[in-house]
A and B are shown apart, each in its own frame.
Chain A
Amino acid sequence: MSENLPASPPAPVHSGDAGKEMNDGGVSGQDARASVARAFCPDPSLPQTAASPIGSDMPPSPAAGRRSFLRAAMWGGGIAGLGGLAGLAARRLAGGNATNTAAKSALGPEFTYDVARFQTSDPALLRYEESARFPVNLTPPRNLAVAADGTIFVCGTGGIRKFSSTGKPALTIALDQPVVSLALRPNGEILAGQAGKITVMDAAGAVVAVWSDFSAGMLPTSIALTKDWIFVADAGNRVVLKLDASGKQTGNIGARDPARNIRGFVVPSPYFCVRMAPDGLLRVANPGEHQIEAYTLNGDFEMAWGKGSFALAGFCGCCNPVSFDIFPDGSFVTCEKGLPRVKLYNSSGEFTGLVAGPEAFPEYLQAANAGTPDSLGSGIYSVIDPSGRVLVLDVIGGTVRIMQPKERKP
């Protein structure tokens, strides 16, 4: 309402006008600033003289004005500097947080990789329950084995650790080179698979022999023993090496040979498992084909089972299972990465239940969904101990989980 406006509002004076006035021999710039102050602060108690700086009680001394200006500038600079330091610190802190998973892009759902529907399972399928877990203190752990007396051995970066069947630490064998696989001889000797070699140690960890006469790139990710032979799954060369008891290589199993109906192993990532089955045949995982294959000890292909599928009955992703073990009755426990799950199959390869579903491994799911580097190279390994328990090595959690049967196996 115009009635509420001042009767004659003083016209603001712009700097350009002030300059013009000055050039015309009118009021000075200081007078102009004062008139601005009067225009916007018509309080008569405010200083009105052209000689006084606006809003200041200080006398119109040029030195005092400079001093106050410098003081204000120093204060301002200091505050801005503090702010700058705070900003840099904030960036440093933000830089350390590489796992902000709350980030959403403006892209539509068709641009989201969504496997959430496969990350849950029916609890009714669980045949085992976790009875205990213990830390292995290896960063990261890589594999495990169990002796006939139930003693548990875990290997990884840093060496080998021995635990009682209840998880009590018993021995640590420090090794410079990471150990990726283990096997235990009946005489107590430990076979430790390392890149390019197999180190043989006595029960106390003293090195007895080192076998290294292998092809370039040899990576022994799994070792199986018979009375006379040692079978080594070489993920680097995608074959199973057959060694005699002294470690001398006598042949290969599984090299591509269409004439013998052997299609070869497809091993895209360093997970390649071999086990000796109670029926006298070797079982070898062919992860790229999503199958477990059976071979005679001479390398003849016998049969295979398994299919690729994200559903529970199949092996998920590009290359699974990453490890497995065989019960005395010939049935299997298998481990998968990507969708972390430990499953049971009968001796014919039919899915019979779960040891642990994806929900049991929240750290794996979190890493996979967030796309953090933990999602790469984090397998799950399992062995069956003499009492029928399944020991599951949780690589991201750094623990061994002891899984007890909920009921007698069907």
Chain B
Amino acid sequence: MTDPSANRERRHPAEHSAVNEPHAPGRFPSGSPDSGLSLTRRELLKSGTRGLGLLGFGAATGFLAGRDRKADTLWQINPDRCIQCGRCATACVLEVSAVKCTHSHGMCGYCKLCTGYFEPEPINLDEGAENQLCPTGAIKREFIEDPYYEYSIINELCIGCGKCVKGCNMFGNGSLYLQINHDRCVNCNICAISLECPAQAFVQVPVGQPYLLRGKGTAGK
């Protein structure tokens, strides 16, 4: 019979003697003394590491499974969740992101002082570069009639940083918002931006309804 107290001993295996110990050198009894099973510290560590590895693998797989694109769906941004963090501009696998600002003209107030177009406290309310909010100059401003101006997104210049969206949301009515443009998006199985989006704003939408639009009339896309 194995001495049960040996279970509680944690001596270094080298201290054990093959002569006066009923177990092989470097081995500790495991389970009941009658089980006949024994486990070395190295085996214990090895098994523990394997178990942890499997647990981590499973956790990662489970986490990613929630983001994996389902069949017949496309990635899109839910504008009501988007917090305009700027990651859409940098996390996309494309060199210039597939995310672009979208403008709902049906919602837009056609404001003379558009907070999505002008820097806070601009020098003048005109199209001078020093007055424009967009670092890439991706918004076009056109006079319609006093005091109304129309704003349009130049998709080729927009990088999807969301700076104008924040200005519009903070002071206006949210007619500017971000969307994935599907003429550019390569629809990765796991969208790289969705992995970085801190607001969980990336959702899967049916292929037949690829955009989540605000308002009635929408331009840009």
Please list the residues of chain A having a beta carbon within 8 angstroms of any beta carbon in chain B: 43, 45, 55, 57, 75-76, 79-88, 90-92, 94-107, 110-115, 118, 263, 266-269, 288-290, 308-311, 316-319, 337-338, 368, 370-373, 375-377
Determine how close the nearest CB of chain A comes to the CB of B63; give it in whole angstroms.
4
- Cβ of B113 and Cβ of A98 under 8 Å apart? no
- Cβ of B86 and Cβ of A111 under 8 Å apart? yes
- Cβ of A83 and Cβ of B56 under 8 Å apart? yes
Interface size class of B (residues with CB under 8 A): 35 or more
Interface string of B53-72 (1 = CB under 8 A from A): 01111111111111100000
- CB within 8 Å for A318 and B84 given contacts A90-B59, A113-B167: no
Determine how close the nearest CB of chain A comes to the CB of B31; give it in whole angstroms.
13
Which of A88, A288, A376 lies in contact with B63, CB distance below 8 A? A88
- Which of B4-12, B170-178, B184-192, B204-212 is near enough to bind chain A? B170-178
Q: Which residue of A lies closest to B37 (CB)?
A: A57
Contacts of A87 in B (CB 8 A): 58-66
Contacts of A92 in B (CB 8 A): 66
Contacts of B163 in A (CB 8 A): 111-113
Determine how close the nearest CB of chain B comes to the CB of A10; give it in whole angstroms.
20
Check B105 for interface membership: any CB of A closer than 8 A.
Answer: no
The CA-CA distance from A377 to B81 in the complex, in Å, is: 15
The CA-CA distance from A114 to B170 in the complex, in Å, is: 11
- Cβ of B89 and Cβ of A111 under 8 Å apart? yes
- CB within 8 Å for A98 and B200 given contacts A318-B111, A318-B114: yes
Check B166 for interface membership: any CB of A closer than 8 A.
Answer: yes
Contacts of A104 in B (CB 8 A): 85-86
Check B139 for interface membership: any CB of A closer than 8 A.
Answer: no
- Cβ of B109 and Cβ of A319 under 8 Å apart? yes
- Cβ of B54 and Cβ of A79 under 8 Å apart? yes
Q: Which residue of A lies closest to B60 (CB)?
A: A87
A-B pair number, CB within 8 angstroms: 192
The CA-CA distance from A69 to B56 in the complex, in Å, is: 21
- Cβ of A90 and Cβ of B63 under 8 Å apart? yes
Contacts of A105 in B (CB 8 A): 85-87, 89-90, 161
Which of A85, A98, A316, A377 lies in contact with B199, CB distance below 8 A? A98
Q: Which residue of B lies closest to A268 (CB)?
A: B109
Taking each of A43, A76, A104, A118, which has the highest tally of chain B beta carbons within 10 Å of its own beta carbon? A76
The CA-CA distance from A13 to B171 in the complex, in Å, is: 71
Interface string of B118-154 (1 = CB under 8 A from A): 0011000000000001010000000000111000000
The CA-CA distance from A96 to B201 in the complex, in Å, is: 10
Check B112 for interface membership: any CB of A closer than 8 A.
Answer: yes
Contacts of B83 in A (CB 8 A): 98-101, 103, 370-372
- Cβ of A376 and Cβ of B55 under 8 Å apart? no
Contacts of B24 in A (CB 8 A): 45, 57
Contacts of A86 in B (CB 8 A): 55, 58-59, 62
The CA-CA distance from A75 to B89 in the complex, in Å, is: 43
Which of B115, B147, B200 lies in contact with A317, CB distance below 8 A? B115
- Cβ of A85 and Cβ of B62 under 8 Å apart? yes
- CB within 8 Å for A266 and B55 given contacts A106-B90, A113-B167, A371-B166: no
Determine how close the nearest CB of chain A comes to the CB of B164; give it in whole angstroms.
8
Check B169 for interface membership: any CB of A closer than 8 A.
Answer: yes
- Cβ of B63 and Cβ of A371 under 8 Å apart? no
Taking each of A97, A101, A372, which has the highest tally of chain B beta carbons within 10 Å of its own beta carbon? A372
Determine how close the nearest CB of chain A comes to the CB of B135; give it in whole angstroms.
5
The CA-CA distance from A85 to B90 in the complex, in Å, is: 30
- Cβ of B63 and Cβ of A91 under 8 Å apart? yes
Contacts of B115 in A (CB 8 A): 317-318, 338
- CB within 8 Å for A79 and B135 given contacts A94-B200, A98-B83: no
Contacts of A112 in B (CB 8 A): 86, 163
Contacts of A45 in B (CB 8 A): 18, 24-26
- Cβ of B58 and Cβ of A79 under 8 Å apart? yes
A83-B58, A268-B108 are known contacts; what are 15 more A-B pairs with Cβ within 8 Å? A57-B38, A84-B58, A84-B65, A86-B62, A88-B63, A91-B63, A95-B66, A106-B87, A111-B163, A266-B148, A288-B112, A289-B147, A310-B120, A376-B173, A376-B174
Taking each of B108, B121, B163, which has the highest tally of chain A beta carbons within 10 Å of its own beta carbon? B121
- Cβ of A266 and Cβ of B56 under 8 Å apart? no
The CA-CA distance from A295 to B191 in the complex, in Å, is: 56
- Cβ of A266 and Cβ of B109 under 8 Å apart? yes
Contacts of A103 in B (CB 8 A): 83, 85, 87, 198-199
